């Protein structure tokens, strides 16, 4: 079964109808302990979103990530913004980190750009119009120093180019983010809400960019791109700094526990973040199929036959089932 992303549990159930146990979905890298949704007013579902609600959510985001308040454009998910960027940027040559989230290369290729895939895309700043980096990277967790990213941005901006940072997982490591520079010429930053806050179905994200780019994208998004409920939940979550701090500690402990399980198996742990682990194995498809037959869904990659990405189990029961399934490989 080919898949563009994780989270396609309905397709997994159809592909493995013999599985009777409840499925464990470890394919997405989404926080399994989501921000609590409590006491939403009926108006949040009945009313169109107001300008003040947009501003309140955007301001809360800006404070949470230390970004300039006037650099933020809210959107219904970061994937849409990835797909819209070629329509507002004059870009012909793009260097993209490899391996990484596949939609970046797919989008720029469809737009007719020439793509350079590189383990060090920052070294191509003199030859391209844009550099795209997921930071920290998905799926291997690779990071670059802030100094290296800022130097790449300066080089690109001086030539009218762009550094495009997909900071979908930057809430895990805030010190690595360049959000404080949001709005600077030549710098585009994408932020995701759903992964860290565990509410991917809410469809909330943000883009930090210069004012002219934000204006052109806002025109394409229309008047009400984000629902009233999403704006209210986002505002609450972004303001809850204590919850964010506690979650970072919890995720670190959980990823260390998952590491112990993986290191006791035939899988070679080679990277990842606090929300997912990246492993090398001689037969990734075989291991993926074996786990699926046990009702455990992990992420495989069509272009990486020796790697899998595994998200965090949410409790001891899921951890025990994963541990047992991996023990059967031996």
Instruction: Tell me what pLDDT residue 147 has.
Output: 97
What's the total number of domains in the chain?
Answer: 2
Q: With both helix axes pointing from N to C terminus, report the angle between 241-263 and 316-327 in degrees, rounded to the nearest 10.
A: 20
Nearest to 285 by CA among 266, 304, 312: 304
pLDDT band at 1 (very low <50, low <70, confident <90, very high): low
pLDDT of res. 50: 96
pLDDT surpasses 80 at 57: yes
CATH code of 291's domain: 3.90.1150.10
**pLDDT at position 150:** 98
303-313 tens-digit pLDDT? 889 999 999 99
Indicate whether 148 and 215 sit together in one domain.
Answer: yes
The proportion of the chain whose per-residue pLDDT surpasses 70, expressed as a percent, equals 98
pLDDT tens figures, 266-315? 799 999 999 999 999 999 999 999 999 999 999 999 888 999 999 999 99
If pLDDT is split at 50, 70 and 90, which confidence band does 96 have?
A: very high
The mean per-residue pLDDT over the stretch 198-207 comes to: 97
How confident is residue 3, by pLDDT bands cut at 50, 70 and 90?
low
Same domain? 212 vs 313: no
- Average of per-residue pLDDT across 180-192: 98
Average pLDDT over residues 195-202: 96
pLDDT at 146 over 90: yes
Whether pTM > 0.85 for this model: the answer is yes
Residues 23, 29: Cα–Cα separation, whole Å:
16
Same domain, 181 and 312: no
Give me the pLDDT at residue 38, please.
86
Q: Does residue 190 sit in the same domain as residue 62?
A: yes
Q: Which residue in the block uniquely carries the two structure tokens 């464990």?
A: 24
**How many Å from the N-terminal Cα to the C-terminal Cα in the chain?**
24
At residue 225, the pLDDT reads 97
**3-7, 221-225, 266-270, 290-294: range with lowest mean pLDDT:** 3-7
pLDDT at 2: 56
Q: Residue range 319-326: average pLDDT?
A: 97
Say what the pLDDT of residue 266 is.
77
In a domain, 196, yes or no: yes
If you average pLDDT over every residue of the chain, what do you get? 96
Structure tokens at 301: 């990659």
**Domain presence at residue 107:** yes
Closest CA to 77 of 226, 268, 244: 226
User: Do 249 and 194 share a domain, yes or no?
Assistant: no
> What is the per-residue pLDDT for 43?
79
- pLDDT at residue 203, rounded to an integer: 96
Q: Strands 299-301 and 130-134: what pairing? A: unpaired
Asked if residue 128 has pLDDT above 90, the reply is yes
Q: Which of 183, 209, 239 is the last residue of a domain?
A: 239
Same-domain check for residues 262 and 183: no
Does residue 43 lie in a domain region? no
The boundaries of the domain holding residue 233 are 48-239
pLDDT of residue 153: 98
Question: Residue 277: phi, psi to the nearest 5?
Answer: -120, 150
Q: Which residue, 208, 239, 270, sits at the end of a domain?
A: 239
């Amino acid at each position: 079964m080919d898949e563009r992303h994780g989270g396609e549990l309905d397709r997994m159930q159809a592909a493995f109808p013999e599985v009777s146990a409840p499925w464990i979905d470890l394919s997405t890298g989404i926080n399994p302990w989501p921000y609590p949704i409590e006491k939403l007013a009926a108006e949040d579902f009945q009313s169109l979103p107001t300008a003040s609600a947009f501003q309140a959510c955007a301001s809360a985001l800006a404070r949470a990530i230390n970004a300039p308040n006037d650099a933020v454009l809210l959107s219904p998910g970061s994937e849409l913004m990835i797909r819209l960027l070629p329509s507002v940027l004059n870009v012909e040559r793009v260097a993209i980190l490899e391996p990484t989230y596949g939609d970046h290369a797919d989008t720029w290729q469809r737009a007719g750009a020439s793509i350079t895939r590189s383990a060090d895309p920052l070294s191509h700043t003199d030859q391209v119009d844009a550099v795209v980096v997921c930071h920290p990277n998905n799926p291997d967790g690779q990071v670059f120093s802030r100094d290296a990213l800022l130097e790449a941005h300066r080089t690109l901006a001086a030539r009218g180019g762009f550094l495009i940072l997909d900071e979908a997982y930057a809430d895990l490591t805030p010190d690595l983010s360049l959000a404080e520079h949001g709005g600077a010429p030549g710098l585009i930053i994408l932020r995701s809400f759903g992964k860290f806050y565990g509410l991917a179905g809410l469809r909330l994200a943000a883009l930090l960019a210069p004012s002219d780019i934000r204006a052109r994208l806002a025109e394409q998004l229309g008047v009400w791109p984000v629902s009233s409920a999403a704006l209210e939940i986002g505002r609450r979550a972004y303001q809850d700094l204590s919850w964010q701090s506690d979650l970072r500690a919890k995720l670190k402990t959980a990823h260390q526990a998952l590491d112990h399980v993986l290191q006791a198996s035939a899988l070679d742990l080679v990277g990842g973040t606090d929300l997912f682990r990246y492993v090398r194995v001689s037969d990734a498809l075989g291991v993926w199929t074996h786990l699926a037959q046990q009702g455990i869904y992990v992420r495989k990659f069509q272009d990486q036959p020796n790697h899998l990405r595994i998200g965090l189990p949410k409790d001891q029961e899921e951890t025990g089932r994963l541990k047992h399934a991996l023990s059967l490989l031996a």
